């Protein structure tokens, strides 16, 4: 086998005359398509155009995956739209050359295949996905405020049809190996043991590339407007073009410019110049790096800690959902409450969520449920690596529980509370070794909220905190280290925000108008609807504790006194039916209403930094974005406050 080596690529030719081009980015754990990698790829394509092998297989030399996409760090260095055009032109031209190679080409995809990596794969005639959980394909550029400019907007609609392609590009959703085969994105889906042979056989077959059915070709051609108009309506329900121009640019580029972003004139709203000029892209890139920082914190803390058994005390909504998530992530979980009858609803909810997750695959559901064990006597405490308390917020009850846990737990077990309102120091008074207690604070709904606060009390052992951080990371959550303080970070900033919204209602502004102002700003849910969802009794109690407000808004007080607590009672500020809110029409918002709503949140976030609840402003921004859904287009509350002043 002949080989040609460069820093990042290896080109070899086997006995059948098939070339194998392997990417193994030097000095990196994952493959990315930075400028140096693209330069080397172009040189290898030069050689392939001259040698004309029987076929070409592009694969990864990394265990971590195929290609994670472009080098995002290089994107931050772009000076303007012209620089962006030059970067895109280079890869656009190169991928067109790969598509035009006069022999069969194949991308062998094992592990993540994201962004530019999928665009490279789309330039090949064939794609094979390896059937493993880690294999995921996506064009997530929209999540960074940019567009798939290296050919994704042109080729993906040709391969899978425009509706499926726009769905992927406008949401950034990931597709697994089997789904890729089913939708036509992959030609074959094979197990790892036969992937090389499968690639060799498919290339050797030299069969024509898969062609879309006739109706899909019409929708990708003369009937483009039908698909595009439907896509615009869907995007408009979730994203404002003023804050998120990229999804609209994707639709326009596909519909009007043949999927070629280079053909979009500089003055057009879909152009590089407009997208970069809005500021959203750089702010979303900032959010990406904040997320990467949180992910790295969990990995760096205690990589040798591998929890296999988790014990959760409290089978209510929060405790039950924590237990269900841990089981989903492969851990054995024992769930404790006063009786089997109290635990049963949590097991039922878990089964329902697993059925949705695994799309009715009963075998997968059964295997996952087998790891979730009802344990009313708490026998699992003695075996657990991590023990999480998630009972009601009563200090005496927690004291009694932790005395029992400490007596039965292994000396090296992580002992944690999910408390959201009590001081960790007060809870730790029940322990002979208070340094063992840490906070691991999840948010509701557990399956959807990515952030988990890891709370350090005054006496908490640093090693226990490191292990707690590692545990959270292994749950595929984002661990945020915070100090024990009222509300920690997330609830401490939400309290003033909700209170200000309720004051607006007291002044006669309709709840619907208040909520619309917040969602137009980019919040995932309006503050009044959020208060109703949390429960007005809880909102009132935590609001008093966190804001120090001596006077509760009169309408809030009246609703709570009447037992109208929001979603859980069927009525609060809004009426609720079967868990869904019923709202009236929103009226015109007074000038500056959105700024008025978020200003207390910005001030509270700065206060948490000033009091060292979080160690720096970037972590505060990360925590508020991933813990509350604060408008990502802003780059975070403190970043937004600095740029608007």
Q: Is the separation of the CB atoms in 291 and 478 below 8 Å?
A: yes
What's the rounded Cα separation, in Å, for the pair 48 and 52? 6
User: Cα 266–269–272 angle (5° rounding)?
Assistant: 50
User: Would you tell me the crossing angle of helices 490-506 and 593-610 to the nearest 10 degrees?
Assistant: 150
Q: Rounded to whole angstroms, what are the CA distances from 267 to 239, 277, 442, 603, 632? A: 22, 11, 46, 38, 26
Among residues 125, 135, 128, which one has the least CA distance to residue 155?
125
| Residue indicated by tokens 């808004």 | 553
- Whether omega before 445 lies within 30 degrees of 0, making that bond cis, reads yes
| Number of Cβ within a 10 Å radius of residue 198 | 19
DSSP string computed for 67-95: E--B-HHHHTT--SHHHHHHHHHHHHHHH
Any residues with CB less than 8 A from the CB of 488 and at least 6 apart, and which?
420, 439, 441, 453, 455, 482, 613
206: left (phi over 0), alpha (psi -120 to 50) or beta: left
* Residues labelled as active-site residues: 420, 441, 453, 491
DSSP string computed for 196-213: HHHHHHHHHH-PPPP---
Question: 3-state SS of 341-391?
Answer: HHHHHHHHHHHHHHHHHCCCCHHHHHHHHHCEEECCCCHHHHCCCEEEECC
**Pairing state of beta strands 437-441 and 451-456?**
antiparallel
Residue 266 structure tokens? 């500089």
DSSP string computed for 584-607: ----PPPTTHHHHHHHHHHHHHHH
User: Would you tell me the crossing angle of helices 152-160 and 245-256 to the nearest 10 degrees?
Assistant: 70
């Amino acid at each position: 086998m002949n080989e040609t080596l460069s820093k990042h690529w290896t080109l070899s030719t086997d006995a059948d005359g098939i070339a194998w081009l392997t990417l193994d980015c030097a000095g990196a754990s994952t493959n990315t398509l930075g400028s140096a990698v693209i330069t080397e790829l172009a040189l290898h394509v030069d050689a392939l155009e001259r040698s004309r092998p029987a076929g070409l297989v592009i694969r990864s030399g990394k265990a971590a995956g195929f290609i994670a996409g472009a080098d995002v760090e290089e994107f931050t260095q772009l000076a303007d739209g012209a620089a962006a055009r030059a970067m895109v032109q280079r890869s656009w031209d190169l991928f067109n050359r790969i598509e035009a190679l006069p022999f069969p080409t194949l991308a062998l995809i094992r592990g993540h295949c994201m962004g530019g990596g999928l665009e490279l794969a789309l330039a090949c005639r064939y794609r094979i996905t390896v059937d493993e959980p880690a294999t995921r394909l996506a064009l997530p550029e929209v999540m960074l405020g940019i567009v798939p400019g290296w050919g994704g907007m042109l080729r993906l609609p040709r391969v899978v049809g425009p509706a499926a392609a726009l769905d992927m590009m406008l949401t950034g959703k990931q597709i697994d190996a089997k789904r890729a085969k089913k939708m036509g994105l992959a030609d074959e889906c094979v197990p790892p043991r036969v992937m090389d042979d499968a690639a060799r056989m498919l290339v050797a077959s030299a069969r024509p590339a898969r062609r879309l059915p006739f109706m899909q070709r019409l929708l990708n051609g003369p009937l483009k407007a039908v698909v595009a108009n439907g896509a615009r309506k869907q995007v408009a329900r979730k994203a404002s073009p003023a804050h998120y121009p990229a999804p609209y640019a994707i639709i326009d580029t596909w519909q009007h410019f043949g999927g070629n972003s280079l053909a979009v004139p500089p003055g057009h709203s879909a152009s590089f110049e407009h997208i970069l000029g809005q500021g959203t892209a750089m702010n979303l890139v900032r959010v990406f790096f904040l997320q990467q920082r949180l992910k790295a914190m969990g990995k760096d803390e205690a990589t040798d800690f591998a929890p296999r058994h988790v014990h959760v005390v409290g089978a209510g909504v929060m405790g039950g959902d924590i237990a269900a998530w841990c089981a989903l992530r492969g851990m054995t979980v024992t769930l404790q409450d006063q009786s089997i009858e109290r635990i049963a609803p949590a097991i039922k909810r878990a089964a329902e969520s697993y059925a949705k997750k695994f799309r009715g695959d009963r075998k997968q559901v059964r295997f996952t449920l087998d790891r979730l064990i009802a344990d009313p006597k708490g026998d699992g405490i003695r075996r657990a690596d991590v023990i999480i308390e998630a009972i009601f917020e009563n200090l005496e009850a927690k004291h009694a529980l932790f005395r029992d846990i400490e007596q039965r737990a292994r000396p090296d077990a992580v002992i944690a509370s999910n408390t959201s309102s009590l001081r960790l120091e007060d809870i730790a008074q029940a322990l002979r070794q208070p340094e063992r207690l840490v906070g691991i604070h999840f948010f509701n709904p557990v399956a959807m909220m990515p952030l988990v606060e890891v709370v350090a009390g005054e006496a908490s052992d640093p090693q226990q905190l490191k292990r707690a951080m590692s545990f959270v990371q292994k749950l595929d959550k984002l661990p945020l280290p915070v100090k024990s303080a009222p509300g920690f970070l997330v609830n401490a900033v939400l309290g003033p925000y909700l209170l200000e919204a309720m004051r607006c209602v007291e002044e006669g502004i309709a709840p619907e108008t208040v909520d619309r102002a917040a969602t137009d700003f980019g919040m995932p849910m309006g503050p009044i609807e959020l208060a109703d969802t949390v429960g007005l009794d809880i909102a009132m109690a935590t609001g008093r504790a966190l804001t120090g407000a001596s006077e509760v808004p009169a309408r809030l007080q009246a609703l709570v006194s009447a037992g109208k607590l929001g979603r859980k009672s069927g009525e609060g500020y809004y009426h609720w039916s079967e868990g869904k809110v019923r709202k009236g029409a929103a009226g015109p918002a007074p000038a500056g209403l959105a700024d008025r709503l978020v200003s207390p949140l910005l001030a509270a976030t700065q206060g948490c930094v000033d009091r060292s609840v979080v160690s720096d402003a970037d972590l505060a921004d990360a925590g508020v974005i991933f813990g509350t859904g604060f408008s990502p287009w802003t780059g975070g509350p403190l970043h937004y406050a600095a740029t608007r002043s």
